[in-house]
Structure 1
Amino acid sequence: MKRLPLLCCALLCLTSIMLAAEPGTKPNIIFILADDLGHDGLSCYGSDVRKTPNIDKLAASGTRFDLCYSAPLCGPSRCVLMTGRYAFRTGGIGNGSWRADGPGAKAANEQPMARLLKQAGYATGESGKWRQVGETPKDWGFEEYCTDPTAGGWYWKTSYEKNGETIDTPKEEYNPDIIQAFSLDFINRHKEHPFFLYYPMHLVHGPILRTPDSAADAGRGTDFYNDNIAYMDKQVGALVAEVEKLGLREKTLIIFSGDNGTALSHPSTIGGRMINGKKASMLEGGSRVPFIASWPGVTPAGKVNKDLVNFTDMQATFLELAGAKAPEGFKFDSVSIAPQLRGEKGTPREWAYVQLGSRWFVRSQGWKLNESGELFDMSDAPFVEKPVAVSEDTEASKAARTRLTAVLAELNPAAGKTDGGDGKAARPGKKKRKKKKNP
C-alpha cells in the first residue's frame, strides 16, 4: 500500500503525456524563422565555427530534420510557407514578386495558413520581417502583428509598425528586442487558448551590426556576425523559457527553421567541409535549411529525421494538428508531417520541389533533376553535387532520371507563373565565366 502514492504519481505523469500527444488536442504553434541561416550556422547541425547552445538544447528536446527545403531567397520561401503552394502556382517566384504590379501571391487569391488557423479557433500573431510577402500580415490572416517597412535587416532604428500603426521611439532601439517583446507579450495574452505565433526574425540578415551584447570597445570594421548568431540563439532560449514559465511547454509545438541558406559573405564549415552553395543559389546550400521541431511528450527527443520536407508542408501539418481541414477544390502542394512529429512513420514525400524565378529542381533521396534535365548524384550532399551525363547512367541513375523527369512533366512549372529571368542563381556543375575584354 505504501507504493500507491508513487503509482498514482506515475499514472498522472503518463496521463499528462498522453493528453499532450492526443491527436484531437489543439497545440499552440510557434514557428521561428531565422533569416539567411543554413546548416552551417548552427552547432547542432555540425558547424565548426558557430555556437548555438539554446537552439542545440531545443533540438535535443525534439526532432531535428536533415532534409528540409525552402526556396533560395527570402521572399519566395516565405510565400511558399504562407500559402502551402509552389511558386509557379502563386507567382511568388522572386524577391520583387510581392509588388502590386508583380506576379506574386495575393491574399485574396490564396488560402493562407494564418487565416485557416484563425478559422479553426486560433489567435494568430506575426512578429518580425514581413515585407517580402506583400500586403500586410492582417490581409494574410494575422490578427496582431509587429513589423517594419524593410525587406532586409531592421536593427538600430527609431520606428516600427504595430497593427498598422507607425510607432516612433524617443531614441534608437534594437528592433530584434522590440520584436521579441511583442512575441512574449502575445504568448502571455493568449495563454488560455490555442495560438499561432509566426516569428520571422531579422537575425542574421545583413547589415551585420553590433548587438546590445557586443563589446562596447569594438572598433569600426569589426565583424559582428558571431555576435548576431549569439543574440539570435539567446532570444530563442528566452522565448522557450517564457513558454516553460507559463506552464505551456507540453501544450506547445515550437519549430525553428531558416528561410534559405547562409549568405555568401559569412561561410562556415561542417566537419572541415564547405556546403555547396549559399543563399540565392540553386545549389544544395541555397535552399536546404535547418528544421527543428520540439513538443515535449510528443516529438521524440534527440531524434534525427531523414525524410524530405518542403516548406509547403507546414500548411497541411498545422491544419492537421489544429483539427482543421483544408478547403476543398483548392490546389495545395502540402504533405503533413504531423505523424513524424509524433515519432510515427507517416507518409513521407518522395521528392521536394524548389523554384527561384525561371529555374527549378526536384530533389529525391539521393538525386536531383533541374529544369534543363540535368541530373545530379546527391549521395555526398550537401557538400558535393555530382553531374551525371546520360552516357554515364547506371541502372540507379537511369531510374532516377526517368522518375524525376515524369515528376517535372506533371508539375509543368513552365506553364505557370514565371518571370522568364533570374539567371543569376548558381547551378551545380556550372562555373561562372569571366567576361572577355573587347579587343
Structure 2
Amino acid sequence: MVTGCKMEFKLKISQCGSNLMLLILIQLVVTSYGKPNVLFILVDDMGFNDVSYHGSTQTKTPNIDDLGTKGTVFTRHYTQPVCSPSRGALLTSKYAIHIGMQDGVIVGTVPAGLPLEERLMPAFFGDMGYFTHAIGKWHVGYYKNEYLPTKRGFDTFFGFYESGVDYYTHSRFTDHFFGLDLHWDTAASNTSQPIWGLFGNYTTDMLTQHAKNLIELRDETNPFFIYLSHRAVHHPTQCDTELINRFGGVWNATRRNYLAQVASVDDSVGELVQLLEGEGILDDTIVVVASDNGGQICQDCGQSNYPLRGGKNTNFEGGVRTPALIVGPGVQSGKTYSDYFHITDWLPTLMDAVGGDTRDLPDDVDGISQWDAISSDDRRGSEKGPRDEILVNIHNMYGEAAIIKGDYKLHYVLGGLHEGAASDWYYSTGPLNHTDRDRIYEMDGWILPVVNCSEPDDATACVFNPKEESVCLFNIKEDPCEYNNIADSEVEIVDELMERLAYFNSTMVPSILKPSDNQSNPALRDNVWGPWE
C-alpha cells in the first residue's frame, strides 16, 4: 500500500540481489586516509524561489536552510538551461557545446550518450581511492552498455536511466513506448539488472533510503563519493497528502502539491545529515545541494523562479541561475558567495577540496576550481572568485545563444524565441504582477536578499522579433531580472560579447542528438527500458 513521501520504508538488500551486499562490503585494496567523503545532491528543476533561504513565503526548506548557515551559499550559481546538458556539464567539467549536448535532452528512445571519450567525475574520484555510487536520475544516455553509469566510473548504480519516471510505479512512457525504468547495476555487471519489487514505494524516499544504506554499510577504510540525483522536484506533482497538508495556506493547488515535493527533498537532506552525524562522519563529509536548472514554468508544474525572468529551457536567469550550497571540512561557514560559479566548476573545485590534483583533468575543461575562494584556510581563501565569464549556451536548433561577461549578459536570437519558451516573469504558475515583487523579503528569519530588481522600463524592454536577428544586453548586476535592454547604448560591449560568442561557436562540436530508434521499445526486452544496441 502506498503511504506517500514520508512512509516508513526500508529498502531490503535482498531485493537488489546478493551482488549488492557483496559489493558494498568488499574491502578495497587502495586506502585513502584523510580524504573527506563527498555527498553531492542534485535536485531536478528546483526554481530560484523554491528554497526558503531565498525569502519565499511559501516554501519550507529548514534542513537545506540549516546547511546554508553552516557552509557557503552560492547566489550566482549557473547551470545549463535543461537536464541532460547540465548533467553532462557537471560530470565532464565542460560546457554543453563541447560535449555535443547543446541542443537539449537525450530522450530515452534516442541512440545517443555522453561521448565515451569523456572521462567523468566518478573516474577521477575513483583514482583517488573513493568508492563511487550513483543514485537516481542518469539521463546522459544508455543505448549501449558502454554508456551505463557503472561503465563510466561508478562502482554502483541504483536508479533510472532517463527522466519522466512515475514516482510510484517507476515506469515511464516515452514516444508511445512504456516500460519499467528502475535498475541496480554494479561495475562487474555486463548488463543492467531491472528491479521489479519496489512498486508503490515513493521515489524520493526510496533513493534516500538507498543512500542511507550505502552510508551505513560503507567501507570505513575508504571515503565514499555519492551522487544522489533526485527525480524530484520534476513534474508531475505526485506526493503524499500529509506533506501536501503542510502547505494548506497556499491557495494554488498546483503550487501546493509542488511544495510538498520540495519538502520531501528537504526531508531527505535532513535524514541524510542526521545519519552522517549519527555515524560520526558529518565533520568528515562535504555535502553539496544544487539544482540542475531553473524551475519549469507550465500550468501543472508549480515551480517558481521569482523574481527572475524565464524558466527551464531558456537562457534567461530563471532558467539557469539556481539554488546551490556547499558545507563540510575546509569550507567557509556562514559565507554568501556572490561571484559567478558554473556547474562545470564543481569537478575541479571538489578535487581541490579533497586534496586531489586538478592537473589530472583534461586540458580542455571549461570548469575552474573555486576552492581558493570558498576555502576556510586563510592561506588560500580569497575575496574575489576566479570566474568572470560564463557561456550560457549556444542552441543551434533554436537559434538562441547567451553569454555573461563581467556585469553584462547578452542574448542573441535568430528568428524569435522557440515555441513554448517561458520568457516572461512568473511568481508561480501565473504571470508576475510587478507590484508584488517585494513579497520576497517578507519572511522572518535568515534570508539572503540576493536579488534586487531595477524598475522595468517599457521603452527599453527586450523584444525578440520572430522574423529577424535580435540582440539584447542587460547589466545583470544592476538589473538581474533582465527588464531593461541597454544594447543600443552599449554598442562596444555588445560587439565584445558577440565576438566571444563567435569564438565559442568556432569551438563547438556537433550535436550528439539523433532521431528516435524504434528498437528502443522496451516491449522488445521484457518491458524494461535499457540498452538496445
TM-score (norm 1): 0.80
Question: What is the correspondence of 1:19-98 to structure 2 with a 5 Å cutoff?
Answer: 25-97=34-106
Structure 1: unaligned runs, 5 residues or longer: 1-23, 422-439
Q: Could you tell me which residue of structure 2 aligns to residue 315 of structure 1?
A: 347
How far the C-alpha of 1:357 sits from its partner, in A, is: 2.9
Distance 1:182 1:420, change over 3 A: closer
- The amino acid that maps onto 2:340 is L
1:387 and 2:465 correspond: no
- SS of the residue aligned with 2:132? strand
Structure 1 position 333, deviation (Å):
0.7
- Compared CA separation, residues 319 and 68, structure 1 to 2 (3 A): same
Compared with structure 1, are the counterparts of its residues 99 and 87 closer, same or farther at alpha carbon in structure 2 (3 Å cutoff)?
A: farther
Number of aligned positions between the proteins: 386
RMSD between aligned alpha carbons?
2.9
Structure 2-normalised TM-score? 0.67
Residues 113 and 512, structure 2, Cα contact 8 Å, conserved in 1: no
2:122 pairs with 114, 120, 123, which one? 114
What per-residue deviation string (whole Å, max 9, x for no partner) do you get for residues 164-217 of structure 1? 31111265211222111111112223262211111111111111012374469x
Hey, what's the Cα distance between the residues in 1 that align with 2:509 and 2:316?
22
CA distance in 2, matches of 1:154, 1:114: 27
CA 1:50–1:403: 2 relative to 1, 3 Å: same
Aligned 8 A contact 1:31 1:255 in 2? yes
2:331 is aligned with 1:299: yes
- Counterpart in the other structure of 2:473: 375
Q: Does structure 1 retain, via aligned residues, the 8 Å contact 2:91–2:121?
A: yes
Is 1:234 the counterpart of 2:243? The answer is no
Counterpart residue number, 2:372: 339
**Cross-structure match for 2:163:** 151
Deviations along 1:304-344, one digit per CA (max 9) or x if unpaired, are 11110111111211222341344466411110011123141
Q: Report the Cα offset of residue 34 of structure 1.
A: 0.6
Give the whole-Å Cα distance in 2 for the aligned partners of 1:113 and 1:331: 15
Call closer, same or farther: CA 1:29–1:133 in 2, change over 3 Å.
Answer: farther
Do structure 1's residue 404 and structure 2's residue 497 form an aligned pair?
yes
Match 1:260 to one of 273, 293, 305 = 293
Q: Which amino acid aligns with 2:388?
A: E
**Residue of structure 1 in register with 2:28 after alignment:** none
1:351 corresponds in structure 2 to 389
- Contact 1:313–1:337 (CA under 8 A) maintained in structure 2: yes
Contact 1:25 1:321 in 2 (8 A): no
Distance (Å, rounded) in 1 between the aligned partners of 2:109 and 2:296: 27
User: Displacement, 1:150?
Assistant: 3.7
Q: Quick one: distance in 2 between partners of 1:309 and 1:30?
A: 19
CA distance in 2, matches of 1:353, 1:238: 36
CA contact (8 A) 1:69 1:310 kept: yes
1:371, distance to aligned residue in structure 2 (A)? 4.1
Which AA in structure 2 matches 1:301? S
> What does residue 204 of structure 1 align with?
233
- Counterpart for residue 425 of structure 1: none
Structure 1 residue 417 corresponds to structure 2 residue 510? yes
Equivalent position amino acid for 2:87 in 1: R
Please give the alpha-carbon distance, in whole angstroms, between the structure 2 residues aligned to 1:207 and 1:381: 33
Give the fraction of aligned pairs with identical amino acids, expressed as a percent: 27
**1:363 pairs with 397, 404, 407, which one?**
404
1:124 match: 132
Aligned-partner SS, 2:313: coil
Which structure 2 segments of 5+ residues have no match? 1-32, 171-179, 186-191, 414-470, 515-533
